[in-house]
Amino acid sequence: MSDAYKAIAEIFRSKGTFVVTSHIDPDGDAIGCILTIYSVLKRLGKSVNVVLEDRVPLNFSFLKGSDEVVCEHVEPCEVGIVVDAAAVERTGWVKDIILACEVIVNIDHHRSNDYFGTYNLVVEGTGACGEIIYKLLVEIGEGIALEEAEALFVAILSDTGCFRFPTTTAETMRIAAHLLDLGVRPYRAASEIFWNRSPKALMLLSNALGTIEITNDGAVASMEITREMYESTGASPRDTEGFANYPRSIRDVLVGILFREVDDGVYRVSLRSREGYPVDGIAKAFGGGGHPTAAGFRVKGELESLKQDVRREIDSQILQPHRISDTQ
């Protein structure tokens, strides 16, 4: 694995033009990592474009460089860097730009990664891609600027669930501690991410909470957000960061589901689960991917039928095997 770090560090030093991207519906890990890479490449004197299919969520827009992220076509170049995406298709329409680059660098921590890059730095099971990028910066040897440390801390804080998820390790905490030594203020990061919602966002959350359904003998809870809810509250998809955690937070619920309508009859489905009940296989069954306890996919269909399909898949993949093992 150290060879992959060395090879990609050399690409950062030797190549001149870069496009950096991550998955659709980007989370804190994705945003923190791409902004860190953007910053270090600029410090190295490189030409860099950061492109996403979706805009930066509002609660991550405080990070330096977030206003440099574009949601429009740019020309392919020497190096396309994809972070936190198990497959290049997860970048949405940006994949066409990446695939046209001379070299593709794939940096990820999902166990479902399909190693699509010319160079692949995939460390399965790592708490956040931010940890991998941190080690890459150490390998590059140009230090870590304060804005990069802050972006990395946000990446790690977000994808470890504030250091609560099973993937959090002693090394995770050591990296976070070093970032604090570099000047990161954890209170500022937490305030911006978790305590900075607009009234419109809370109105949207109120409407969504009213749709919660508990099914599968109490093991599954689902919540939905429709386009009508966005229109009636004035909120936007950028306001929904963290909403997927609410169904899972219900006592005794093993799997939580959030259905978000992003176009007429098109839904983004986010899955969250408790340890020991992996949902990445559920997402994969519908063309998506993710982690054992956090995954997602995008699909077109009728909502009620879609809910039934997802619940059946959860029962088949997760709940039935547990019932069988419990009786043995």
Which CATH number does the domain 2-194 belong to among 1.10.3720.10, 2.60.120.260, 3.90.1640.10, 2.40.30.10?
3.90.1640.10
Torsion sign, CA atoms 261, 262, 267, 272: negative
Structure tokens given for 54: 């979706």
Domain with CATH 3.10.310.30 in the chain: 199-327
Architecture label for domain 199-327: Roll (3.10)
Helices 129-140, 2-14: axis angle to 10 degrees equals: 60
Q: Which residue type sits at 170?
A: A
Domain with CATH 3.90.1640.10 in the chain: 2-194
Q: Which residue type sits at 115?
A: Y
What is the C-alpha separation between 193 and 61, in angstroms, rounded?
9
Query: What is the pTM (predicted TM-score) of this model?
Result: 0.85
Helices 146-159, 28-43: axis angle to 10 degrees equals: 160
Please write down the HEC assignment for all residues of 89-147. HHHHHHHHHHHCCCEEEEEECCCCCCCCCCEEEECCCCCCHHHHHHHHHHHHCCCCCHH
pLDDT per residue, tens digit, the chain (328 aa), is: 579 999 999 999 999 999 999 998 899 999 999 999 999 999 999 999 999 999 998 889 999 999 999 999 999 999 999 999 999 999 999 999 999 999 999 999 998 899 999 999 999 989 999 999 999 999 999 999 999 999 999 999 999 988 988 889 999 999 999 999 999 999 999 999 888 888 999 999 999 999 999 999 999 999 999 999 999 999 988 889 889 999 999 999 999 999 999 888 899 999 999 989 999 999 999 988 888 888 999 999 999 999 999 999 999 999 988 766 665 5
